[in-house]
Structures are given as C-alpha cells and as structure tokens.
C-alpha cells in the first residue's frame, strides 16, 4: 500500500497556553485565530485529514511545580476537565464544526510534550491513526514552537513521516529557545516555512 495522503496536526491550541491562561504564550490567541481560519480554508481541500492534540493532565508528577524551570516543569495547566484545558475560543468552534477529524489527548500521567505520545479516547495512537489512513506527509502548527510543536515535529520525523512546520502558524515562548528549536528541527530533516511569532522576548 502506497502512503500518499497529507495531514495537518494542530498542537495544543488551548486556553491555558494563550493570553489569560495559566502558562500563556504571547501571541497564542492570535495564532489560534489564524489556525482556525486556515483549518476552515483547508477542510476538504489540501489535507486528507486534520487532527488536533490537547494537553490532558491528571497526575503528571514533577511536570507540575510551584517552582517551575519552564523546560521540564511548569505551573499547573490543562488539568483534565478544567476550563483551561479546552480549545481556545478562537479555535473551539472550528474544531467542533467537524473540520477536525480527531483529537489526541496527551500527558495524563506524564509531561508528554509530543502529540505522538497522545491517543484518542478509544486508545489509538497518533502514528497508528495516520498510518492507517495512508498519511505520509504532515504539516504541524500550534503552540508552542519551542516546546510541544517541536516535540511533535521531531517525533513525526522519527515515525517516518515527511514533516513540515508552518512557522507562520506557531507561537514561541522566547526568541532564544525558538531559535534553538528551529535549528533542532532543521538538523532532523524537518522542513520549515514562514517565520515564527515570538512576542515573549
């Protein structure tokens, strides 16, 4: 069977990762709006499938900290069932409209930055779900460029997909970590288009 389809992965466009959330990324709300518009334009078009990932923490251990290092540990965020774990209001209506084919939940009991560590409510992994649908190429967008977008793209490449990160549709936490993430992605053979939004310094 020849793999030939292309999919879009929307990473963690959630309330807690946008302005007003518990771990906000500046520019997140604006990217949520831009991603929603792109998904609406693309549904049924260039992408055979559009999926989204969500942080879904129940008891992630040391990932939650009162003294976070903002690399491996963070303030409490995206607790399963909380308002902050929901999709941002700019993106939620689009996701609910049927434009998003499936949602993959990650991090119930761990940090799990990568969408490829997530699974559907039925337990299907992202890689298996995509392979089953003959997907060979994936575009990755979302929040944050230097954390979960990077991890998802790197794991996608390791899983054998041809990965492109659409930087115009990402938001980074900080300039130095975003620059480092972009270099990591290049070294891993991930294609990059556009320029990242980095308003956090």
Active site residue 106: yes
Are 39 and 99 contacting, i.e. CB atoms less than 8 angstroms apart?
yes
Rounded to whole angstroms, the Cα distance separating 138 from 47 reads 9
**Could you confirm whether 12 is annotated as catalytic?**
yes
115, 9 Cβ separation under 8 angstroms:
yes
Assess whether 26 carries a catalytic annotation.
Answer: no
Alpha carbon distance 146, 121 (integer Å): 27
CA angle 90, 167, 49 (to 5 degrees): 65
Written as one string, the DSSP assignment of 93-151 is HHIIIIIS-EEEEE-SSS---SGGG-B-TT--BHHHHHHHTTEEEEEEEEE-IIIIIHH
The single residue of 106, 113, 139, 150 carrying the catalytic annotation is 106
List the catalytic residue out of 139, 148, 150, 155.
Answer: 148
From CA 172, how far away is CA 183, in angstroms rounded?
Answer: 14
CA dihedral 154→98→84→127, nearest 10 degrees, is -20
Catalytic residue among 12, 55, 139, 155: 12
**Residue 103 near residue 52 (C-beta atoms within 8 A):** yes
Active site amino acids: 12, 106, 148
């Amino acid at each position: 069977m020849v793999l030939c389809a292309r999919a879009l992965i929307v990473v963690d466009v959630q309330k807690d990762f946008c302005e007003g959330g518990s771990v906000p990324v500046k520019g997140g709300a604006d990217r949520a709006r831009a991603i929603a518009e792109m998904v609406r334009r693309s549904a049924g078009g260039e992408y055979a499938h559009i999926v989204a990932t969500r942080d879904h923490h129940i008891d992630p251990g040391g990932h939650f900290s009162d003294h976070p290092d903002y690399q491996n540990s963070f303030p409490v965020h995206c607790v399963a069932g909380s308002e902050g774990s929901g999709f941002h209001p700019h993106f939620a209506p689009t996701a609910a409209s049927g434009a998003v084919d499936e949602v993959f939940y990650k991090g119930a009991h761990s940090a799990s930055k990568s969408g490829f560590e997530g699974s559907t409510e039925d337990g299907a992994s992202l890689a298996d779900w995509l392979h089953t649908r003959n997907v060979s190429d994936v575009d990755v967008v979302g929040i944050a460029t230097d954390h979960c977008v990077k991890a998802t793209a790197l794991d996608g490449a390791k899983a054998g997909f041809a990965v492109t990160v659409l930087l115009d549709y990402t938001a980074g936490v900080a300039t130095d970590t975003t620059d480092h993430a972009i270099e990591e992605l290049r070294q891993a053979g991930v294609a990059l288009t556009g320029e990242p939004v980095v308003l956090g310094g």
